[in-house]
Amino acid sequence: MIEERRSVTVRGIVQGVGFRPYVYGLARRHALAGFVRNDPSGVRIEIEGDPLEVRRFLEELPRNAPPAARILTIEEADVELNGAPAAVRSDKGFHILRSATSGRTRPLFVADRGTCEECRRELFDPEDRRFGYPFSNCTQCGPRLTIIEGAPYDRERTTMAAFEMCPSCRAEYEDPSDRRFHAQPIACPECGPRLDASLDDFVDAVLSGKVGALKGLGGYHLVCDGTSEPAVLRLRERKARDEKPFAVMVGDLDGATALARLSDRERALLSSPRRPIVLVPKRDRSLLAPAVAPGNPNVGLLLPYTPLHLLLMEKVAARPLVMTSGNRSDEPIVHREDDLAQLEGIADVVLSHNRRIRVRCDDSVTRVVLGEELPLRRSRGYAPEPIHLARAAPKRILAAGGHLKNTFALADGERVFLSHHIGDLDELRAFEAFERDIALYEELFDFEPEAFAHDLHPDYASTRYARERAEREGLPCIAIQHHHAHVAACMAEHGLDAPVIGVAFDGTGFGSDGTIWGGEFLITDYREFRRASHLRAVSLPGGDRAAKETWRMALSYLVDAGIEPTAPRSPVVVDMIKKGVNAPLTSSAGRLFDAVSSLIDLRHRISYEGQAAMELEWLCGGRLSDRGYPFVVDESVDTRPLIRAVQEDVDGGMEPTEIARRFHRTVVSILEAVCERLREAHGLSRVVLSGGVFQNALLTESTVPALERRGFDVYRHRTVPPNDGGISLGQIAIASEQLSCV
Ligand code: ZN
Ligand code: ZN
Ligand code: FE
């Protein structure tokens, strides 16, 4: 019989997802000999046998791959039959060989994955040897990024190396037909990690109203009974978190449906292996304590994503539990026993285990807008899966990201590894985590930067980090304007390369002219941008304080509109505005929302970022008014007529709800009017929407169809957040293009 031998290299997310057993099974079914092994660039296969079967194998290979796998490329080559390794040629079996560890190209890592259906079934099967075992997993599910210590992904380079496999686990691990074949974190009650205290006691404490700290996948959660108002209030008080909504874990989709009205897309996201927190509309009457998400029409729900969470939810009889990051206020989430002191005075009871968390990773947060995912925080379950650039970066670039909601990113060829959520770099602990996690990613991806990118803001901790390293290592360093990065991030997601109309509406970012930007219309490709229009700049009295005390912005806009504030809260601030003392200029869209929120007496100061704008959105109850306020589009957008009209309505005693709806309508009209003007001037009809303001679902839902009706192609974020969590991707896209043309 004529035999054929072919070598196949598969690249993509193919390690740690059960790919080798899949290949093994496939080869056996087609009666082929050969081998499969992980190597630094992905999975390497050689098959030998009947040419017809070889062809069938190759056809089927991408089609039935394990669900967690993502194949990018399959390269095939002929192999000299007599050139095959003797050990393999001598018998006609199919083998799984040990990983090769040489070579620089690194495989793509998978993110942590929520417990699969099979593992869940075993967990509750009294006959199974893993019955009730909190650390069960398989090739399809379990920890990945959070336990990785090196590459390639093998048990000895994870925090599971500390646990010696028992004979039963070893047998499963080595049996190619077993669904735990080479599941690196494989474990059982005999040999694997253990809880350090009783889950029952923990459950009793939580059900009696206490606050628990629970070690999970990427860190500690603070847990309390989500149906008990006193318990939730106690947690708020101790965590110094006045009003920011808490996420809630429910037992299953039925539990979620009891608390919220879910679309199919939302149900699918909740139960996907990524298991993010999904922001969904609350039901009016539910068990949920009001203090979970005060005044908020939405609630962030998530399903159990580890066996430990499944057991916990079972033991509390699926009662909804608040599950919030184990930290004080906005510090990074605690992930090591050594740091538990930080939760002292917050948690009454602690439940830990002895599987070390190597990478601290917060829960991801997402929502569905117009049927598509709108990510708010891309972290556990997503990071560090790569995002692909349309064109390979000419150098290995490290982008330091922004200042708030920081993520950093590494570009290696066409792949961008966007980090998990690091947090606000004001916090020393967050900055330490930033440095440590950059070092870890460099090690994991065998990545040595050849260039740095950072925000234009000279005082961001991330900027200083990038500059210092670039100087020390003698490498190029590129400063990138904040809103250019926002727009470029969204362009990169969609692989756009021609110039677009980029709308960046957000809080603040350092502008090229030294003022503070945030209501920007840019004509841009990656290489450069032109500030084509923007909201009229007003003063920001007291600088950063104006972002927290929204009444300052109300005064600023009133003075700008020529309205003398009657009985102002602070004549000193009015003076600051008029004289321009400690009152830098800003065109921020976020601050305009803040001002209106204060003008209608909704919120004069905030306790978390974006609160005033969110409450303004909630007040609308999902509806715009048919009527909007006047404004003038010129070189910039004159908001003075808008402010005068809002103030007139306030004085006339109009319902705040109607004013909020008219205001939202006006913002949509501004976006339409400016885009029309820019289309005329530049002949561009692609509009890219970015910036934190587009986390506002009502605004996004209204703007997209409004622009589409006018014939624009509208692009918005689906992969990275529109907020500053997406900045690092934009920095990569721009730096990559700029480095290409020098
Ligand atoms: Zn599983
Ligand atoms: Zn075992
Ligand atoms: Fe921003």
578-597 tens-digit pLDDT: 999 999 999 999 999 999 99
* 8/44 Cα distance (integer angstroms): 6
- Bridge-based pairing state of the strands 500-510 and 70-78: unpaired
Mean pLDDT of the chain: 93
Q: Picking from 184-193, 433-442, 458-467, 687-696, which range would have the lowest pLDDT averaged per residue?
A: 433-442
Q: In this structure, which ligand is nearest to the CA of 66?
A: 1
Kindly list the protein residues that place their beta carbon closer than 5 angstroms to ligand 3, a single-atom ion.
Answer: 506, 724
Query: By the 8 A CB rule, do 248 and 186 touch?
Result: no
Query: Residue 377 pairs with which residues in a beta bridge?
Result: 365
Arithmetic mean of pLDDT, 405-426: 94
707-713 mean pLDDT: 98
Distance (angstroms) between ligand 1 centre and the Cα of 507 equals 42
Return phi, psi of residue 417, to 5°.
-95, 105
Distance 506 CA to ligand 3 centre (A): 5
User: How high is the pLDDT of residue 105?
Assistant: 47
What ligand has the least distance to the C-alpha of 118? 1
The number of beta carbons lying within 10 Å of the beta carbon of residue 514 is 9
**Across-strand partners of 614?**
none
Please tell me the predicted confidence (pLDDT) of residue 102.
52
Residue type, 247: A
> Do residues 489 and 524 make contact, with C-beta atoms less than 8 angstroms apart?
no
Query: How many whole angstroms from 131 Cα to the centroid of ligand 1?
Result: 13
pLDDT of residue 448: 95
Measured in Å, residue 404 CA sits from the centre of ligand 3 at 8
Q: Give the rounded percent of residues in the chain with a pLDDT score beyond 90.
A: 81
CA 100 / ligand 1 centre spacing (Å): 26
Instruction: Using pLDDT thresholds of 50, 70 and 90, give the confidence band for residue 62.
Output: very high
pLDDT at 85 over 60: no
Ligand 2 centroid from CA 192, angstroms:
6
d(CA 462, CA 672) in angstroms, rounded, equals 35
What pLDDT does residue 81 have? Answer: 63
So what's the pLDDT on residue 70? 86
Ligand nearest to the CA of residue 406, numbered in listed order: 3
What's the confidence (pLDDT) of residue 87?
Answer: 43
- In the structure encoding, which two tokens stand for residue 553, read together? 């912005």
631-653 tens-digit pLDDT: 999 999 999 999 999 999 999 99
pLDDT for residue 742: 63
Helix (H, G, I), strand (E, B) or coil at 115: coil
Q: How far away, in angstroms, is 452 Cα from ligand 3 center? A: 19
Of the pLDDT bands very low, low, confident and very high (cuts 50, 70, 90), residue 538 is very high
Phi, psi (rounded to 5 degrees) for 247 = -85, 155
Q: How large is the average pLDDT for residues 186-191?
A: 97
- Span from the CA of 584 to the centroid of ligand 3 (angstroms): 18
Query: How many whole angstroms from 256 Cα to the centroid of ligand 2?
Result: 34
**158 CA to middle of ligand 2, Å?**
16
Nearest bound ligand to the CA of residue 136: 1
CA distance 164 to 16: 19
Distance 136 CA to ligand 1 centre (A): 7
**Per-residue confidence (pLDDT) for residue 439, from 0 to 100:** 93
Question: Is the per-residue pLDDT at 88 higher than 50?
Answer: no
Query: What percent of the chain is modeled with pLDDT above 70?
Result: 97
Q: Mean pLDDT, to the nearest integer, of 52-69?
A: 91
Nearest listed ligand to the Cα of residue 180: 1
Tell me the three state secondary structure of residue 356: coil
Please give the distance, rounded to the nearest whole angstrom, from the Cα atom of residue 111 to the centre of ligand 2. 24
Q: Which of 18-27, 42-51, 255-264 is most confident? A: 255-264
Kindly give the distance from the C-alpha atom of residue 81 to the centroid of ligand 2, in angstroms, as a whole number: 41
What pLDDT does residue 652 have? 97
Q: What is the phi-psi region of residue 543: left when phi exceeds 0, alpha when psi lies from -120 to 50, beta otherwise? A: left
What distance in angstroms lies between residue 407's CA and the mean position of ligand 1's atoms? 29
Which has the closest alpha carbon to 501: 338, 690, 634? 690
Model pTM score: 0.91
Q: Which of 198-207, 282-291, 710-719 shows the lowest mean pLDDT across its residues?
A: 282-291
Average pLDDT on 188-209 reads: 97
Q: Taking residues 85-108, what's their average pLDDT?
A: 62
Instruction: Indicate which ligand has the atom closest to the C-alpha of 179.
Output: 1
Predicted confidence at residue 107, as pLDDT, reads 56
CA 629/CA 363 separation, integer angstroms? 40
Q: What is the pLDDT of residue 732?
A: 98
Which ligand number lies closest to the CA of residue 730?
A: 3
Nearest-angstrom CA–CA distance, 688 and 87: 56
Cα–Cα distances in Å, from 660 out to 158, 268, 618? 52, 32, 9
Beta strands of 255-326 (E only): which ranges? Answer: 277-281, 298-302, 321-325
- Which ligand is located closest to the Cα atom of residue 190? 2
